[in-house]
Amino acid sequence: MHSEHLTNLHPGWVVIGWLIAAAITSGVYLALVGTGLFPQGAGAGAVLGVGVAMAVGFFAGGLFVGVRWSDAPILHGGAITFLSVAIWFVGTLTLPGSFESWSGPAPAVLGLILLQLAASVGGGWTGRRMAVGSGEPEAAGER
């Protein structure tokens, strides 16, 4: 895409997208646990519930940014995920508790980060397509 330049990346939209993603992720997870669809606590069901909630939340955050600011949707999606990693890192360094309490098994953590990345980039790309219109050809050479 021709719009994928760092000059088109706006930190304000990244923060707003991350806040929306975090809020929707929390709401979806609480709804899933509240309705009894996913058990609370540790285990495979809990990881699946977190994954579903993150996929929905970060897709929605990326979608919002893609619709509202359709330039550089892939960069914005990646930046939303990077903001999650940065917040986790700062929380690990500053909040009480050991490093092990903030991190889980490495494959699960990396899988959730990749899930955030795929969902937020997919949401941003879908939002751009909604804003631009999928039936109309874009500038020459963008396809």
* pLDDT value of residue 43: 66
Q: What is the pLDDT of residue 82?
A: 94
pTM for the full model? Answer: 0.81
Residue that has been written with the tokens 């219109």 in this structure: 133
Measured CA to CA, the distance from residue 86 to residue 99 in angstroms comes to 15
Q: Please tell me the predicted confidence (pLDDT) of residue 100.
A: 59
Question: Block means of pLDDT (10 residues each) for the chain, length 143 residues?
Answer: 70 92 94 81 72 94 88 88 90 73 70 92 91 62 49
Model pLDDT, residue 143: 46
Q: What pLDDT does 57 receive?
A: 96
| 20 contact partners, CB below 8 Å, separation of at least 6 | 57, 60, 61, 64
Distance CA 139, CA 79 (A): 25
What is residue 1's predicted lDDT score, i.e. its pLDDT?
47
- pLDDT of 20: 96
So what's the pLDDT on residue 4? Answer: 74
